[in-house]
Chain A
Amino acid sequence: MQIENSGKTDNFIAINNRAANKWWMQFRYENKQFINIQNGKAVDSTSNDDEGTEVKISNKNDSVQQKFDIVYLDKKAKAATSGFNEEFGLHINRPFYLRSRLPMRRVAECIGASYLRLKRWRNNTKAQQWYFDGVDKTIHNNNWKSHVLDIKSGQLRMAGQNSRWW
């Protein structure tokens, strides 16, 4: 991780770079802040809390947007793999059907890991089954497990999981 353009901007990026030990790549972790060792500026998640908000570098001000916890993977509590998620109103990893209330009661089926169509229910058809993932908080198809419900250009489609709000 480093400050873009050899420390001359306020953008915070990760880039393949063989040069090392440069000040714009070096940050110390102190009082829950990442502080650059030369210019003293802090990594800042900005006041925006939207999904995908860019992280910047700004003057150190000790605000909560400049504070981070380091969560080591071996000490991290394991995410729930079952039970009910109150926030999303869905059971974790429990397959379900999305059934229309129109007269034919068709169910949503994933077509070719790309499209969503209403089809007649067929017993044990995994492409018609869905489940809520407790880690990434998205709805996956039970046949194409790496693909999730996703809004694209106003349409409900299937896409690779990315945990962004859409």
Chain B
Amino acid sequence: MTNYDIGELHPKYGLYCGSRGKYEFNIQSLKGNKKYMSWQVTHKRNGGWRHMTMKTPNGNKEQVFYFNCKTETIEA
């Protein structure tokens, strides 16, 4: 497995490697009112299930994500 530095573009995923506070991003729809993707707690058991929804930009952490190059996942 190749190690990538924070700020490096991951060639397979097309996303910059980030961490909490670094290379964080919003995901904005190109459709209609150009809402942001947000997580929203829907079930409080088992640490909280968070369904992804589209919402008006609000500047809150529920709309902020980063790409973790170690786990190769987008984290909220």
Interface contact B59-A79, CB-CB below 8 Å = yes
Interface contact B31-A65, CB-CB below 8 Å = yes
Interface contact A13-B51, CB-CB below 8 Å = yes
Whether A69 contacts B58 in the complex (CB less than 8 A), given A2-B73, A14-B76, comes out as no
| Residues of chain B from 29 to 76 with CB closer than 8 A to chain A in the complex | 29-33, 35, 37, 39-40, 46-60, 64-65, 68, 70-76
Interface residue tally of chain A, by bracket?
Answer: 35 or more
Interface contact B24-A70, CB-CB below 8 Å = no
Interface contact B73-A1, CB-CB below 8 Å = yes
Would you mind naming 26 contact pairs between A and B with Cβ atoms under 8 Å apart? Answer: A1-B39, A1-B65, A1-B74, A2-B73, A12-B51, A13-B50, A13-B51, A14-B76, A16-B48, A20-B71, A21-B72, A25-B72, A26-B73, A28-B14, A28-B15, A29-B15, A52-B40, A65-B31, A67-B29, A69-B28, A72-B16, A72-B23, A73-B64, A74-B23, A79-B57, A136-B58
